[in-house]
Structure 1
Amino acid sequence: MHLKSLIAVLFFLFTVLAKAQTDTAKIKSYADQVMVRVNLDTNIEKYVFTEGPEDKPIETIFTINNKTRASFSIDYRIISATVSFTPSFLPGNNDDELKGSSSYADFRFRFFPKKFIQTVYYKNVKGFYMENMSDFFPEWKEGRDPYIQFPDLRVQSFGGSTAYVLKDNFSLKSIYTQGEWQKESRGSWVPIVDYDLSIFRDILDGRKGKETQYSFGASMGYFYNWVPGAKKRVNIAPNISLGLGGMFSSSWDILSDGSKANKVNTQYLTIRFATGLHIGYNTDRFLFGGKFNVNAYAYNEKRDQSVQNNNIYGLLYIGYRFPPPKVIKRNYDKVQKKIPIL
């Protein structure tokens, strides 16, 4: 399905859900509980370069050697700690010889002051390979021949977003962190402003290159939390957003003496699209579920050239909540008196 058709279908779905939502909602908070979770997650970072006329475009796809990670996390109030590792026995975690080695780190923090949602993040990705080898090399065989690899290609991103929930009694915490549970179906439009600094570094044929991209944008999103059934234990929460933005890019070569050469400054108009789905089961003690999110933005470098960056993220989790031990609650309350933001 083409992207335009997908967007049209999703917006139709959200229009129907928006009209069907109820006018009252009850939200239960679990801020006073300790939550432990075991997670299984995967990230796919992909860049698609398209060149040529629309009827015969040529695509070159660069992606990372994705790893499936397992992690253990513990949450209490606004404090969250996670330890993760990459089990070698899982499929796709032991093919470095064909695709090269990739590293992926993503640190993300969210705050919920009243109806605002503030997100800040840092992302570090290194090690890409060309995914669509068969489009350029017909004799190439998957599973037998290695991919063309770019082990020194590194992308660092520093950014954030500020969102505002327009509807009362709608909880994004129940979707993002499971720190709350919304007991009645409800949806809300959410305007979002995002900003990002990305730094690209690579070494090709012994020549170092660097590019910085400053981007910003504004989107309008719709989030819906559907809680079916009489017991209100399950939620199905889709979301979608679409927006426009701008990007300022500077690229240059780094010479052996550290000086810059061939510097180029450009500006682009960007199109932004994001969608996701969370399905969860919740009791006051046990919870489990899964999430799937897609974030994409695209821009035209020239009349017949475009670039698209896609990030696909999937997660499965199972968790348990329990009252905090007295020593933890007592010490947290003491710290909170000194630092009210906690």
Structure 2
Amino acid sequence: MNFLKAGLLIVFSLLAIFGKAQTDTINTKSYADKVMIRVNLDTNIESYVFSSGEGKNAFNMDLSINNKTKTSFSIDYRIISATVSFAPRFLEGNNDDEMKGKSSYSDLSFRFFPGRFIQNVYYKNVKGFYVENMKDLSPEWQEGRDPYIQFPDLRVQTFGGSTSYVLNKNFSARSIYTQGEWQKKSSGSWVPFIDYDLTIFRNTIDGVKNKEIQYNIGGNMGYFYNWVIGKKVNISPHLAIGIGGKFSSYREIDNGSAKQNAQYATIRMQGGLHVGYNTDRFLFGGKINFKSYAYDQKNSQSVENSNLYGLLYIGYRFAPPKVVKNTYDKVQKKIPVL
């Protein structure tokens, strides 16, 4: 816990040192003085792929939740971007409880943009999984007739974040991440970043409760490019690779068994493509992203959170109400980093 407090202190000290309010420059137009609201619809839902063995003895089990689409609402003002997400039950693919079981999903995230730093923190809470690749496990299984194997008590909570730094001062990462700025000229930048999370798995199998805690940390290097077409359209691809470490601790709670600890080296890759349309008031666009995360466990590979997903968004900017501006100014006096 002392290590965590020290890490947070270092991160926010750096943000305070380098932080400053965004303003227009030769290369970017800032919307920091506007409130921006966005509605997002995406398919980035939790899934886990567990693999073991090699060759004919290989065994894969794909765990997913019974929610294929989530909705999120975002609000941006000054250097803060906040997003809350959930999976509505009325959307198609989110309510097949009879075959796949009941699932729940929610997350909350904040992103800060002081200077060339990008600081992201988030919390996710997911419960209720099913085995998606039933045909691989049981050739006799038939979709629509047979139910999926379900883990209704499997709950995954994640506390995480990332800290990035944009090396090219003429590149606007905010124009890609949250559309809080508009980049006037095409430009790219290398972006080194570290990501870290604490994930808690809880499950009950045959009346026995078990719990696993995982710590992940990694160093990554990514390249982002923002291709500006005319005055209102941008196309932005990016790719990042990294290495890191995973530290896990597992135990069965009810029988008082000893903890099983393990450490692994990890390899990760992520990338995507963003296409957006922007005016001073109105904006919309879409993104396609992928993530792949792997580690080696006694000569058999396990892959976690390997997925391809899409996102659509629409947003609107307006002048902040006086109560919002005055409240922010008061808080900023007490927390200069804002």
Cross-structure match for 2:45: 44
Query: Does 1:240 pair with 2:236?
Result: no
Cross-structure match for 1:191: 192
Measured after TM superposition, the shift of residue 59 of structure 1 is: 1.6
Contact 2:83 2:108 in 1 (8 A): no
Task: Return the letter of the residue paired with 1:37.
Answer: R
| Residue 135 to residue 173, structure 1, CA distance change in 2 (3 Å) | same
Task: Return the letter of the residue paired with 2:252.
Answer: D
Partner Cα distance (1:186, 1:222) in 2: 11
Partner Cα distance (1:85, 1:194) in 2: 23
Contact 2:41 2:311 in 1 (8 A): yes
> CA deviation digits over 1:155-176, x for unaligned, max 9?
1111221111111211111111
| 3-state DSSP of counterpart to 2:304 | strand
Measured after TM superposition, the shift of residue 286 of structure 1 is: 0.9
Contact 1:301 1:307 in 2 (8 A): no
Measured after TM superposition, the shift of residue 147 of structure 1 is: 0.4
Measured after TM superposition, the shift of residue 83 of structure 1 is: 6.4
Moved segments of 4+, more than 6 Å: none
Partner Cα distance (1:206, 1:108) in 2: 34
Cross-structure match for 1:96: 97
Which stretch of the first structure deviates more once superposed, 72-81 or 151-160?
72-81
Task: Return the letter of the residue paired with 1:133.
Answer: M
Superposition CA RMSD, Å? 2.3
Query: Does 1:120 pair with 2:116?
Result: no
Measured after TM superposition, the shift of residue 212 of structure 1 is: 1.1
| Residue 293 to residue 199, structure 1, CA distance change in 2 (3 Å) | same
| 3-state DSSP of counterpart to 1:184 | coil
Cross-structure match for 2:251: 252
Cross-structure match for 1:304: 300
Task: Return the letter of the residue paired with 1:285.
Answer: R
TM-score normalized by the length of structure 1: 0.84
> CA deviation digits over 1:12-70, x for unaligned, max 9?
xxxxxxxxxxxx96100001112222322332222112222247633211111124233
Cross-structure match for 1:7: none
Task: Return the letter of the residue paired with 2:265.
Answer: L
| 3-state DSSP of counterpart to 2:139 | coil
| 3-state DSSP of counterpart to 1:143 | coil
> CA deviation digits over 1:130-180, x for unaligned, max 9?
111011222211122210000111111112211111112111111111110
Contact 1:106 1:123 in 2 (8 A): yes
Measured after TM superposition, the shift of residue 215 of structure 1 is: 1.7
| 3-state DSSP of counterpart to 1:261 | coil
Unaligned runs of 5+ in 2: 1-24
Cross-structure match for 1:4: none
> Which of 249, 271, 275 in structure 2 is aligned with 1:279?
275
| Residue 87 to residue 96, structure 1, CA distance change in 2 (3 Å) | same
Measured after TM superposition, the shift of residue 309 of structure 1 is: 2.6
Cross-structure match for 1:135: 136
Measured after TM superposition, the shift of residue 334 of structure 1 is: 4.4
| Residue 329 to residue 214, structure 1, CA distance change in 2 (3 Å) | closer
Unaligned runs of 5+ in 1: 1-23
Task: Return the letter of the residue paired with 1:48.
Answer: V
Measured after TM superposition, the shift of residue 236 of structure 1 is: 1.0
Task: Return the letter of the residue paired with 1:209.
Answer: N
Contact 2:82 2:110 in 1 (8 A): no
| 3-state DSSP of counterpart to 1:226 | strand
> Which of 287, 293, 317 in structure 2 is aligned with 1:321?
317
Give the % identical residues: 69
Task: Return the letter of the residue paired with 1:99.
Answer: K
Count of residue pairs brought into register by the alignment: 314
Cross-structure match for 2:33: 32
Partner Cα distance (2:313, 2:240) in 1: 25
Measured after TM superposition, the shift of residue 332 of structure 1 is: 3.6
TM-score normalized by the length of structure 2: 0.85
Which stretch of the first structure deviates more once superposed, 212-221 or 286-295?
286-295
| Residue 101 to residue 335, structure 1, CA distance change in 2 (3 Å) | same
Cross-structure match for 1:288: 284
